Structure 1
């Protein structure tokens, strides 16, 4: 087997065709291909920049959300504390009011009992006075008549009289 040796003409036409094809590709294909690659590279850079900006914005929003959550929790705790204080205050006021009302009712009951007792004592004194006057009348009448009768009359009246 023998190796083929190219001639000068073949090398010349091959080189000329290659240069022509290279110039044609440079004129028609390289600029659009390089432009498309450049546009693609720029769009990737823009997308990366906007993604980085969105990431920073998300971090800022997350931080804001956390701050809002902390504030809401603090406000909720404050409201719960205030509600508990109001509850305790209301209970204390109700107890104080109930104690005052109970004391008032007790005073009214004591006054009513004292009034009833005074009325009963006054009634008893009146009955004793009436009985004493009756006995005195009868004794005086009986004394004027007879001493023996007087003693019998006093005994009889005492046995008939009952104290309520």
Structure 2
């Protein structure tokens, strides 16, 4: 009986490693099992994790080569990221907390934030977004007709359904 349980765990571990490898390969533009170090945050987030920039930097310190090359190798990234996923680190922010944050930014309490306000908040306050992150956010959040973000609608797109998460 213990053998079956062990093989089930191995299967789960293999599935987790496969998911990480597939996400890594999306960013491996040279097909040489390395990615640009600047892509690590995107890879981690594509796996359903939501680390702060400080947590991304901590992760980088674990996977970066001793002599920094600007690239991360899959063989160093895989065991570290596997542990992160199995430990369920960097969990998403709950929906009610996201809603409260948007409502705090919505000074007029009208249910939306203008593009200009959002850009200002995300580039000048707290941990600033990069230009690429800003473009990604606007492409998914912004209503092109009104140039606003109806945050209740956007939050529903941002929330991760834990039941659809990794097979753990």
TM-score, normalized by the shorter chain, greater than 0.5: no
Report the structure, 1 or 2, having the larger helix content.
1
Report the structure, 1 or 2, having the larger strand content.
2
Bigger RCO of structures 1 and 2 (CA < 8 A, at least 6 apart): 2
